[in-house]
Amino acid sequence: MKKIMVTGALGQIGSELVVKLRNVYGKENVIATDIRSFGCEAVLSGPFEILDVTDGNRMVELAKKYEVDTMIHLAALLSAVAEAKPLIAWNLNMGGLVNALETSKELGLKFFTPSSIGAFGPSTPKEKTPQDTIQRPTTMYGVNKVAGELLCDYYFAKFGVDTRSVRFPGLISYVAPPGGGTTDYAVEIYYDAIAKGRYNSFIDKGTYMDMMYMPDALNAIIDLMEADPAKLKHRNAFNITAMSFDPEEIAAEIRRHLPSFVLGYAVDPVRQAIAESWPNSIDASAAREEWGFKAEYDLAKMTTHMLGKIGKKAI
Ligand code: AKB
């Protein structure tokens, strides 16, 4: 990767990925794009262009203007929003993806887009979900992710586009809010723990989902994109995970730092149903074997870091 275009650059992943990529590859070599031009200052302070990903002509135009060789396509609606607006989600998630793949095909770009644990469904094995398994999701987001994985494999097999992807678990960070996901409770809980000393979880106790701290997610993207293609038996998309917990376990970890923290519940039936349709824990051995995936943060280390960073912001 030398010159990289990032779509959805002001979202939860983009806000941190763009900064990291600029540190690694040089500020001028990372072109951030988004449909809006407000939010993360660090992203806006380098090369930035407005881009609605459903506008394929503009996407090609920008990729040509900056002579990029890599496309990192992040713009998408997350699971809970997609469930509330399924047609908009289909048009944005699939329309944006097709445009990004077409741009990559036309200009010979390397390609990354994230898939998700949302690509699994109720008939998928729930524990240590294998890399290759049943994928019959029951959400619009999941349908988009499975279709997206297949489409990326198709563009690789048919047109030789170097497509790569991971199935992200819930991503936890203190920089930009996730906005509209089922796993967002695991971010909100830290903010409310600092601000209010209590949190009402919209996900019920006993509901386990895979999670990962953002620094590990950013490293995974870069490591996969830099991996030797000869070693990749899979491409779209690799299971990756760092931890799996339910609300009680994250609360217990927070109480090691804030002993009076109180966890309550205000379960949202829509997000609870989505969470129950996803795995409890996925198996990341293919990612470890094929490109050396590893995660540095477990629940304890992540909690110490999150509370420290959010605490400092609150002062
Ligand atoms: C969501 O909850 O929608 C996302 C995801 C797991 O893909 N965080």
Beta carbons of 286 and 232 less than 8 angstroms apart: no
Of ligand 1's listed atoms, the one at least distance from the Cα of 116 is 7
Ligand 1 pocket residue status of 116, Cβ below 6 Å: yes
Question: In angstroms, what is the span from residue 167 Cα to ligand 1's centroid?
Answer: 10
Beta carbons of 304 and 250 less than 8 angstroms apart: no
Pocket test for ligand 1, best of 113, 116, 201 (most atoms within 8 A of CB): 116
Contacts (Cβ under 8 Å, ≥6 apart) of 124: 133, 134, 135, 136, 279
Beta carbons of 21 and 223 less than 8 angstroms apart: no
140 SS3 class:
helix
The DSSP result for 172-228, as a single string, is E-SSS---S-STTHHHHHHHHHHHTSEEEESS-TT--EEEEEHHHHHHHHHHHHHS-
Ligand 1 pocket residue status of 236, Cβ below 6 Å: no
ipTM entry:
0.98
pTM: 0.96
Catalytic residue among 25, 66, 141, 199: 141
Question: In angstroms, what is the span from residue 106 Cα to ligand 1's centroid?
Answer: 30
Question: Smallest Cα–Cα separation from 92: which of 121, 58, 56?
Answer: 56
Question: Smallest Cα–Cα separation from 6: which of 99, 129, 122, 113?
Answer: 113
Question: Smallest Cα–Cα separation from 215: which of 20, 2, 33?
Answer: 20
Evaluate the CA torsion angle 118, 296, 245, 129 in order and state its sign.
positive
Give the pLDDT score at 315.
Answer: 67
Question: In angstroms, what is the span from residue 181 Cα to ligand 1's centroid?
Answer: 5
Q: Chain centroid to CA 174: how far? A: 14
Which pair of structure tokens corresponds to residue 87?
A: 């047609």
DSSP secondary structure code for residue 134 in this structure:
-
Along the 315 residues of the chain, how does pLDDT read in single tens digits?
A: 689 999 999 999 999 999 999 999 999 999 999 999 988 899 999 999 999 999 999 999 999 999 999 999 999 999 999 999 999 999 999 999 999 999 999 999 999 999 999 999 999 999 999 999 999 999 999 999 999 999 999 999 999 999 999 999 999 999 988 789 999 999 999 999 999 999 999 999 999 999 999 999 999 999 999 999 999 999 999 999 999 999 999 999 999 999 999 999 999 999 999 999 999 999 999 999 999 999 999 999 999 999 999 998 776
How many CB atoms within 10 Å of residue 266? 8
Which pair of structure tokens corresponds to residue 41?
A: 């200052």
- CA-nearest residue for atom 7, ligand 1, is 116
- CA-nearest residue for atom 1, ligand 1, is 181
Pocket test for ligand 1, best of 143, 171, 212 (most atoms within 8 A of CB): 171
Question: Smallest Cα–Cα separation from 120: which of 301, 278, 226?
Answer: 278
Backbone angles phi, psi at 215, to 5 degrees: -55, -35
Strands 4-7 and 30-34: parallel
Tell me, yes or no, if 141 is annotated catalytic. Answer: yes
Question: In angstroms, what is the span from residue 79 Cα to ligand 1's centroid?
Answer: 6
How far is Cα 136 from Cα 143, in angstroms, rounded to an integer? 8
Ligand 1 pocket residue status of 118, Cβ below 6 Å: yes
- CA-nearest residue for atom 6, ligand 1, is 170
139: left (phi over 0), alpha (psi -120 to 50) or beta: beta
Helix 14-25 and helix 214-226: axis angle, to 10°?
50
Question: Smallest Cα–Cα separation from 128: which of 285, 300, 287?
Answer: 285
